[in-house]
Amino acid sequence: MADFTKSNNDEQSTRLYNPYQDLQVPIQNLYNLPTAHEHLFIEEASKPSRSWGENLQYYTGCGYLSGAIMGGAKGSIEGLKSAEPGDTLKLRVNRVLNSGGHVGRRFGNTFGVLGLIFAGLENGVIHFRGRDDLLNTVVAGLGTGALYKAAAGPRSAAIAGAIGGIAAAAAVAGKQVAKRYVPI
């Protein structure tokens, strides 16, 4: 295993790395590797968070992927339950795959749209307020739920908004707890 040791450098914290340590050869090449994040462009290092385009791709992609996985699992279970006693194995597998694909596609699209709306609202709230803090996420969750169910009427929009706000607040709280108590 490679040996990483910290050295005290005035400019930046580095670690010494000897790639030949496990080979039992007399080569003593040590490399100073930085411990901080490295960026391709200097402008990226000065930004405190992702850009709006990165957020849009991240939330939409994560939403679609998680929805497709959950929907695929739910659809597969429904396909297993709907099997009839006289079905052959081939027919049962076909039923499970069709049901899993159908429900997974539907859930994936729904969660992807929710991620898209959430990313747009969060970036809009950040731009409007002029600062990036945890309240933006909660407001974006509330707005996402309300906007997603707005066509079903004001009562459904209010309930969905409350659920979205609570879900976003729970996600923010969970992230803060994980940062504090889970060692990385």
pLDDT at res. 54:
87
Q: How much is the pTM?
A: 0.71
- Predicted confidence pLDDT, tens digits, the chain (184 residues): 444 444 444 455 777 777 767 777 776 667 777 777 777 777 767 776 777 888 899 999 999 999 999 999 999 999 999 888 888 899 999 999 999 999 999 999 999 999 999 999 999 999 899 888 889 999 999 999 999 999 999 999 999 999 999 999 999 899 889 988 887 6
Is residue 55 domain-shared with residue 111, that is, in the same domain?
Answer: yes
Nearest to 104 by CA among 57, 142, 69: 69
H or E element that contains 112: helix 89-129
pLDDT at res. 131:
84
pLDDT at res. 184:
66
Residue 111 near residue 127, CB atoms below 8 Å: no
Is residue 58 domain-shared with residue 109, that is, in the same domain?
Answer: yes
pLDDT at res. 182:
83
Is residue 24 domain-shared with residue 70, that is, in the same domain?
Answer: no
Domain containing residue 172: 133-184
Domain count, the chain: 3
- Secondary structure (DSSP) of 29-78: --EEEE-S---SSHHHHH-SS--HHHHHHHHHHHHHHHHHHHHHHHHHHH
Query: Measured between alpha carbons, how far is 180 from 11 in angstroms, rounded to an integer?
Result: 28
pLDDT at res. 12:
59
